[in-house]
Amino acid sequence: MQLVDTVQVELTGDFSDSVKTWQDFLTVVNKLSGVTVISSIKHDFPGGGFSGLVLIAESHAAIHTWTEYNRAWAELVTCGDRRALTEFVEYLSALGLDCQRIAAA
């Protein structure tokens, strides 16, 4: 019995504005089908980059950025509506980011 479904994405783009990137990520997660956001936390690293976690009733979404490489990694884990997995990748792509799906379960 599979309890959760997961999608992980490597992103390429401009992540130099951590406030905008975080707000965009929060918007993406809030738009996903069957997702109930509970809380979120973000940690900025000296010199750029950040890690952020969105706690959802169905599990979590996370993003980690490396501004010096114009790269990021994002993940959605859900025990809810599976449509959210595809939407996650589509919505991130719609932000103008190059998205490479690296895992799905």
Active site (catalytic) residues? 59, 64, 79
Interval 67-85: pLDDT, tens? 999 999 999 999 999 999 9
The pLDDT value given to residue 102 = 87
List of residues 6+ apart from 4 with CB closer than 8 A: 59, 77, 78, 79, 105
Q: What is the CATH number of domain 5-104?
A: 3.60.90.10
Q: Considering the entire predicted model, what is its pTM? A: 0.93
Shortest CA distance to 57 belongs to which of 76, 35, 40?
35
The model's confidence at residue 2, banded by pLDDT at 50, 70 and 90, is confident
Which residue ranges make up each domain of the chain?
A: 5-104
